[in-house]
C-alpha cells in the first residue's frame, strides 16, 4: 500500500512558502505522496506545484470539492452546469499536477443541505459524469466519487450510492473513494460496504471518528484493513487529520472543527504513518 498525507494537515493555504513547507515535511517523514486540494483550478499554479514536487521527488495526488455556486447536485440546472465545468477544469489541473487521479466531492458542495437530492439530480449527474469520464480518460487520469456524511451532502453518503452512479455511467475512468471518517457515520457495516464496492475502489482517505489522532477514536481500523485485503485493495491511502489552528477559521467552520484534536502536527503525522504501516502489516 502507498500512504500519503493531505496538504491541509500541514498548511491552511497553498502559497509558495506553505507549498514548499508541506512538501518538505511530507518527504522528511517518509510519506509516499501528498494530496493537493484544488479549491480553484485557475489559481492553483499546477505547473509550479508539479515542478516543486519533482525537485524533492514527491508524487502528488489531486482532490477537490465543489461549492454552493458550482454544485453538480443542485436542482438548479445553471448551478449544476457550473459544477460540471469546475470538475472539468479540475481534471485539467490534476493532469498538470502529474496526479493519476482527481478525487473528492466531485458531485456537490461541502455544506449542510436542507432537502434530499431527487432522482432528477441522479439522472442529471449520470449524464454529467458520462461527459466528465470522457474528459478524465482524455487527460489520462481517473475521476473519483467520495461519499461523505449526511451533514455535508444530501446526494452521495455511502459507497453503494457512488457505485450506483458509476455503474449507471459504465466507465472505467470513474472510481469510488473511501473515507473512514464518513464511513464510520453512514455505513451500516463497513466491511460489507467495502466488499460490495470492491470492483470500483480506487482511493481512500483515512480519518479517525473524531478527526483526531488515529487509534484514539472508535473506528475499527483492524477490521477495515482486513476488509481491504479481502477486497483486493492495495492502493493509495491518505491521512486526513485536521486542526483549526492550521486550516484557519473558514475551513474549520466548514468542517465543524470546534476543538483542537492534537497539539503537535509533526508528531501526529509521524504517529499516523507508523499506525497505518502497522495496520497494513498485520493483514499482509
Q: How confident is the model at residue 155 (pLDDT cuts 50, 70, 90)?
A: very high
pLDDT digits (tens, 9 = 90+) for 200-239: 999 999 999 999 999 999 999 999 999 999 999 999 999 9
Has 45 been annotated as catalytic? no
For residue 118, the model assigns a pLDDT of 87
* Structural domain span for residue 64: 2-283
Angle at 104 between CA 102 and CA 107, to 5 degrees: 105
3 state SS of 174: strand
Domain count, the chain: 1
Has 187 been annotated as catalytic? no
Is a pLDDT exceeding 90 seen at residue 280?
yes
Are the CB atoms for 22 and 49 separated by under 8 Å?
Answer: no
Radius of gyration of the chain (CA): 18
Q: Which residue has the cell 460490495?
A: 196
Count of Cβ atoms closer than 10 Å to residue 8 Cβ = 23
Distance separating alpha carbons of residues 272 and 206, to the nearest angstrom: 10
pLDDT digits (tens, 9 = 90+) for 110-126: 999 999 998 899 999 99
Among the listed residues 35, 84, 208, 240, the single catalytic one is: 240
Q: How confident is the model at residue 284 (pLDDT cuts 50, 70, 90)?
A: confident
The CATH number for 180's domain is 3.20.20.150
Among the listed residues 146, 186, 187, 208, the single catalytic one is: 146
Amino acid at each position: 500500500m502507498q500512504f500519503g498525507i493531505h496538504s491541509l494537515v500541514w498548511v491552511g493555504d497553498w502559497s509558495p512558502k506553505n507549498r514548499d513547507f508541506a512538501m518538505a515535511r511530507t518527504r522528511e517523514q517518509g510519506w509516499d505522496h501528498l494530496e493537493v486540494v484544488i479549491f480553484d483550478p485557475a489559481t492553483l499554479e499546477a505547473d509550479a506545484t508539479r515542478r516543486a514536487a519533482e525537485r524533492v521527488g514527491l508524487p502528488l495526488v489531486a482532490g477537490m470539492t465543489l461549492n454552493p455556486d458550482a454544485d453538480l447536485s443542485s436542482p438548479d440546472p445553471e448551478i449544476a452546469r457550473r459544477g460540471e465545468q469546475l470538475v472539468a477544469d479540475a481534471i485539467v489541473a490534476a493532469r498538470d499536477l502529474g496526479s493519476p487521479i482527481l478525487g473528492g466531492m466531485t458531485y456537490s458542495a461541502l455544506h449542510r443541505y436542507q432537502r434530499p437530492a431527487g432522482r432528477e439530480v441522479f439522472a442529471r449527474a449520470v449524464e454529467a459524469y458520462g461527459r466528465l469520464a470522457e474528459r478524465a480518460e482524455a487527460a489520462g487520469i481517473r475521476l473519483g466519487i467520495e461519499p461523505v456524511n449526511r451533514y455535508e451532502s444530501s446526494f452521495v453518503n455511502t459507497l453503494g450510492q457512488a457505485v450506483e452512479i458509476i455503474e449507471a455511467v459504465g466507465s472505467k475512468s470513474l472510481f469510488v473513494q473511501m473515507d473512514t471518517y464518513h464511513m464510520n457515520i453512514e455505513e451500516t457495516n463497513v466491511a460489507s460496504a467495502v466488499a460490495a464496492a470492491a470492483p470500483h475502489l480506487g482511493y481512500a482517505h483515512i480519518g479517525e471518528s473524531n478527526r483526531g489522532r488515529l487509534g484514539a477514536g472508535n473506528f475499527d481500523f483492524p477490521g477495515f484493513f482486513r476488509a481491504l485485503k479481502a477486497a483486493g485493495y492495495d492502493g493509495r491511502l491518505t491521512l486526513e487529520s485536521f486542526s483549526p489552528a492550521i486550516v484557519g477559521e473558514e475551513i474549520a467552520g466548514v468542517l465543524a472543527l470546534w476543538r483542537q484534536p492534537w497539539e503537535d502536527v509533526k508528531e501526529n503525522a509521524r504517529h499516523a504513518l507508523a499506525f497505518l504501516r502497522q495496520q497494513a502489516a498485520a493483514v499482509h
